[in-house]
Amino acid sequence: MRDHLDDFVLVSEAALRDATRLMIAKTRNLVEPAGAAPLAAVLADPGRFKGRNVALICSGGNISPAQLAALIA
């Protein structure tokens, strides 16, 4: 992978949770926090992506009812 990777972005657990909540609220798509990582990366540094066409692949719905309840609380 490193041979094909230009860069990567690290995001905090809090940023993952915030992005997950935003995905649920705005798109009505249920994703687990790891699945919202692309959105969290853009939200963490929007200037990095300004003026560019960006596609985010947000996937992964492996979230339990307990995890979802804790996320929303």
* Structure tokens belonging to residue 66: 């307990």
Q: Give residue for tokens 């609380």.
A: 73
3-state secondary structure of 50: coil
pTM for the whole structure:
0.84
Q: Convert the pLDDT of each residue in 23-51 to its tens digit.
A: 999 999 999 999 999 999 999 999 999 99
Residue 13: per-residue pLDDT: 95
pLDDT bin (cut points 50, 70, 90) of residue 8 is: confident
Residue 33: per-residue pLDDT: 92
Class of residue 20 by CB neighbours under 10 A (exposed 0-12, middle 13-18, buried 19+): buried
